[in-house]
Amino acid sequence: MQLPIIQIDSFTDTPFAGNPAAVCLLPAPISEEGMQLIAAEMNLSETAFLQQTGENSFGLRWFTPTTEVDLCGHATLASAFMLYEEGVVASDAELLFDTRSGMLVVTRSGDEIVMDFPLIETRAQIHPAFEKEFCGKTVAGAATLNGNWIIELESYDEVESLQPDFAQIAEHSEEGIIITAKGDDKYDIFSRYFAPNIGVMEDPVTGFAHCALIDYWHKKTGKTALKAYQASQREGEMRLELHGDRVKIYGKAIKIFEGFMEV
């Protein structure tokens, strides 16, 4: 069977920047094992699998090269972008994605994709292994969430220049660690995300992490809207809006290539 595969760079409108995701609109169901093997073959931080269930509704699952995940922002953005750009749905359609994190609603606003995601609550807590220092940088604050940690550094320069110790990160986190700091004149916050325990050493741009970061920074600053920059080597940006227990994430995307996989 031939499966169509499209690779899309998310949270950017520049080729070879942002976070690349593979998107596969399944012509017929395949096994979970098959999806995991395809994700390992693609070897991107996430591969998204779509199964159409209605005119504008789809089942959506996300796989890293090693495991299935509960929530992925950039691969959701890539999936919606593909559906709109390839004419699978109308350009003004409201998309419904049935996922492990519940029903996600995605729309289009101009050249941006707008994703309605659940807020991820954070709880202020000192990390037992990184109380004062993380990878040579001074810790200014910390919080815990769903197997991940947020560690705040003193400045965005510290976020950009940090050299991660992946062995240490893997030893002291269940899933991953988000580092963050207040931004500059252009962006409200900076961040990076390291998750070696789920097969992603450094994720280029991480949608789900920002569902927690807006909670973390809202509690510190009271702001309900943020412009965010993820300072990975590929870099990417998004806009965030807090609406009660939901987060709207605005981002752009661009198609890189498409083809077929023989399975």
Catalytic residues: 46
Structure tokens at 84: 């709109």
Contact 79, 7 (CB under 8 A): no
Nearest-angstrom CA–CA distance, 116 and 106: 6
Nearest-angstrom CA–CA distance, 18 and 14: 8
Query: Tokens 């991940």 belong to which residue?
Result: 148
Q: Tell me phi and psi for residue 146, to 5 degrees.
A: 35, 55
Give me the amino acid identity at 13. D
Nearest-angstrom CA–CA distance, 106 and 133: 39
Closest to 212 in 3D by CA, of 101, 83, 103, 111: 101
Closest to 226 in 3D by CA, of 211, 214, 234, 244: 214
Residue 1 CB neighbour total at 10 angstroms: 11
User: From residue 171, how far is each of 7, 130, 146, 176, 196 by CA, in Å?
Assistant: 32, 12, 16, 10, 10
Nearest-angstrom CA–CA distance, 250 and 126: 31
